[in-house]
Amino acid sequence: MPHWSENYIGQPYQAGSADCARLLAQVRKEVFAMPVPEDIEVDRLQSRLGRVGQMTDLVSAYGKPTNDPVEGDAVLMFCAGRPSHIGVYCVIDGEPSILHAMENAGMVVLHKIRDLERAFLKVEGYYTWK
């Protein structure tokens, strides 16, 4: 049976409507039937430093840190040394992975956590919804 993440891989990235924060909200709602606040969004026109604040606010407002992530938890990632990217934790064939909408790839991608550095990303932390 295919993993739920396959329904999202390859979907186009679109700033403001199909970006990393919106993907997280979409997956939480569609796959996990969890209520999602309507105001989840990230202003992609802001500077990278501005987005750092937005991502930090997003995870602190809706999530709590966890050391034991489960499918559907949020993963905050460092990009260019700052926590400015977010994805969805999933496990594919026993391999911890992250589904995320990547601006420079132009679409939703799946990375094994052990391969994140190749994409110039690093996990800041895992967050379960409050």
- Within 10 angstroms of residue 74's Cβ, the number of other Cβ atoms is 27
Using CA atoms, how far apart are residues 118 and 113, in angstroms rounded to an integer?
10
pLDDT at 26 over 60: yes
The confidence score (pLDDT) of residue 54 equals 63
Instruction: To the nearest 10°, report the CA torsion of 58, 47, 121, 123.
Output: -30
The confidence score (pLDDT) of residue 74 equals 92
The confidence score (pLDDT) of residue 30 equals 94
The confidence score (pLDDT) of residue 66 equals 95
**Percent of the chain, pLDDT > 90?**
45
Residue 109, both tokens: 């991608």
Burial label for 61, CB within 10 Å (0-12, 13-18, 19+), is: exposed
Q: pTM here?
A: 0.84
Residue 88, both tokens: 């969805």
Mean pLDDT of the chain: 83
> Could you give the domains of the chain?
4-129 (3.90.1720.10)
Q: Which tens digits make up the pLDDT trace of 27-85? A: 988 999 987 766 555 555 454 444 555 666 667 666 899 999 999 999 999 887 777 78
The confidence score (pLDDT) of residue 49 equals 45
- Within 10 angstroms of residue 129's Cβ, the number of other Cβ atoms is 15
| 48: phi then psi, degrees, rounded to nearest 5 | -55, -40
